[in-house]
Chains A and B, each alone.
Chain A
Amino acid sequence: QQQVKQSPQSLIVQKGGIPIINCAYENTAFDYFPWYQQFPGKGPALLIAIRPDVSEKKEGRFTISFNKSAKQFSLHIMDSQPGDSATYFCAASKSTGRRALTFGSGTRLQVQP
């Protein structure tokens, strides 16, 4: 059972554009939602994370929007650059027990010069 659904699968934007990646979760027990960036052949790197008690969080050019009632959250990348071209994964976990992450399927972002 896929508990975190991510879309789109791939995304192409022009430099300076604002790509938006969406995720939806099913398990209402999830209360920690991070986003990771992964370059080919590398491990994922944490970008930003949010908890359900806030609707938006911004760190640098990265913003998470969170809609608890809809069980959805999204990543916005402001002023995107070619160096942002990577695969982005959303994830979710519970803050109790093993705290294992459930990952979305990933979005391959290409930012064209």
Chain B
Amino acid sequence: EAGVAQSPRYKIIEKRQSVAFWCNPISGHATLYWYQQILGQGPKLLIQFQNNGVVDDSQLPKDRFSAERLKGVDSTLKIQPAKLEDSAVYLCASSFSLLTDTQYFGPGTRLTVL
């Protein structure tokens, strides 16, 4: 069974530029999550979707971050404009159905903002 796919794996941009990350969850998984992991810290939830609806985006900086999950499968996370403090690894995870189901993570996208 294929795992969670993410692209790109690495991205370097200048501050004030925009960037987008893509995630394809495990087949059949209804719930999808985006996390931000700053170096030396545990992952922090940004947004969670159940099918194509947002369940929680309370920790998403909405002035610059946006996310969508069209058709309830793939998802994209966008940052516009990027700031230096956005440098982090962005992890996508999916789970089968319930918000308490085990989450399985993708390889992440390492973003460097110069």
> Do the two chains bind?
no
